[in-house]
Amino acid sequence: MDEHKKKAVKLMFEKTAAALSKNGFKADISNDKKEAAGKIISLIGEGKKVGMGGSITMAELGLPEMISAKNTLYVHKPSMTQDERRKTWLSCMDSDFYLASPQAVTMDGKLVFIDGTGNRCAALTWGPRHIILAAGFNKIVSSLDEARIRMREKAAIPNNIRLGKKNPCVLTGKCEDCSSPERICNIVTEIWKKPKITEYSVFLINEELGY
């Protein structure tokens, strides 16, 4: 990205961060992945219980490896049985920190997520003591309407492809609002204001990250 585009994104981030702060979230702007990862690792510290959703953004930041080196990390893996996944998800609910990436962040400071099972949406709304969210500039949208379109048309389709799902969207390239047994778009969570007893830190990163 050239310097002019970076400056334009920064202006967008500043407006979004101000709106997030007004809604009760702690908001931070980072120039790149390395800067953001360093801030997140510093915030978590050592010896903590950390839960994480299946986030491409967090993987691109290199956080699973960095966190697990000095903390207990709970994250489900494809090889797990359903009982093992459930146990991991319940551990995430009781973590000190829970990390994820929203499908969209609106410029008026709202956070939007979509899930297949609901374990991530559950952890994002209650349970963990501190929620850490990271989003690249590609996830910033102007409104909730745009967020709802983005999560279905921009985020869900590549995620279906990544997971090897046999859903109609991987063939047509657009959301078909299917009834497939492998559907991963079942639960939508919109967080408009900070829930009362949970801390939220949102890191806006001036790079294109995740889906």
* Per-residue pLDDT reduced to its tens digit, 108-120: 999 999 999 999 9
What distance in Å separates the CA atoms of residue 33 and residue 61, rounded to the nearest whole number? Answer: 6
Cβ pair 46, 70 in contact under 8 A: yes
90-109 pLDDT tens trace: 999 999 999 999 999 999 99
**Closest of 78, 204, 52 to residue 131, by C-alpha:** 52
Cβ pair 56, 211 in contact under 8 A: yes
Q: What is the pLDDT of residue 140?
A: 98
Side chain identity at residue 107, one-letter code: M
Rounded to 5, what percent of the chain is helix, strand, coil?
A: 40, 20, 35
Domain 3-205 fold: Rossmann fold (3.40.50)
Q: What is the pLDDT of residue 3?
A: 84
Domain boundaries, the chain: 3-205
What distance in Å separates the CA atoms of residue 36 and residue 99, rounded to the nearest whole number? Answer: 13
pLDDT at residue 7 tops 80:
yes
43-85 pLDDT tens trace: 999 999 999 988 999 999 999 999 999 999 999 988 899 999 9
pLDDT band at 2; cut points 50, 70, 90: confident
**Closest of 88, 81, 82, 158 to residue 120, by C-alpha:** 88
Beta bridge partners of 187: 115
